[in-house]
Amino acid sequence: MTIGLSTNVLAVEGDAAAGKDKSAMCVACHGVDGNSLVPMYPKLAGLSANYIVKQLAQFKDGTRQDPIMAGMVAALSEQDMADLAAYFSAQQRTASVGSATELGKNLYFGGNAENGVTACVACHGIKGKGMAAAGFPAIASQNAEYIKIQLEKFRSGVRTNDNNGMMRNVALALTDDEIVALSQFIASLK
């Protein structure tokens, strides 16, 4: 699998077996197979390799900020990132526990035109499987707490690595209750 970190970096081939060997430092937060059991951390299993590489590269260059991840990625090479991405993208995501409330379902599938909230389905798909080619991640069965934290970070402007500010614009219009309902609904998607 060939992966480009950015337009300024040559693409490298990711090796899933090498990624598995290198994933030992990821296990405590993200689980052995990328299925984090810690609700505040994301499941990496099943995310597209390009998305994983983008996030790792942006943690490394500071575009996406997190004190824990900054330290974890500091020594990673382009090859390391490609290998980790190849490994985690090949893993099956396990189901999460979430409640599919009417509010969460309505926001996911219909948005809220009155408040300018675009429907999540437009980018993340009917089943939350994302659109890898367009850079939209799979969010189905993601940990609800992690989704909630990320939506709050987009809303506050702490997280700014979204394409064209799309997630920031959506999150700005969400209330706290809507963020909770949406996070729970996304976790319930299989």
Q: Comparing C-alpha atoms, which of 137, 129, 8, 115 is closest to residue 61?
A: 8
Residues 50, 21 share a domain: yes
**Model confidence pLDDT, tens digit, residues 80-97:** 999 999 999 999 999 998
Q: Is residue 35 part of a domain?
A: yes
pLDDT for the residue numbered 12? 82
**How far, in whole angstroms, is CA 29 from its chain's centroid?**
14
Does residue 169 fall inside a structural domain?
yes
Residue 18 backbone phi and psi in degrees, to 5: -65, -35
Separation in Å, CA 32 to CA 4, 47, 51, 145, 162: 25, 15, 19, 20, 27
Q: Are residues 117 and 77 in the same domain?
A: no
Please count the structural domains in the chain: 2
CATH classification of the domain holding 20: 1.10.760.10
Please say if the pLDDT value at position 7 is more than 70.
no
Residue 161 pLDDT greater than 60, yes or no: yes
Distance CA 115, CA 95 (A): 31
| Residue type at position 145 | E
What's the rounded mean pLDDT across residues 176-190?
A: 97
On average, the pLDDT of the chain sits at 94
Amino acid at site 179: I
Q: Give the list of residues 6+ apart from residue 38 with CB closer than 8 angstroms, or none.
A: 29, 143
Over residues 109-125, the pLDDT tens digits come to 999 999 999 999 999 99
Q: Are residues 49 and 116 in the same domain?
A: no
Domain that holds residue 13: 2-89
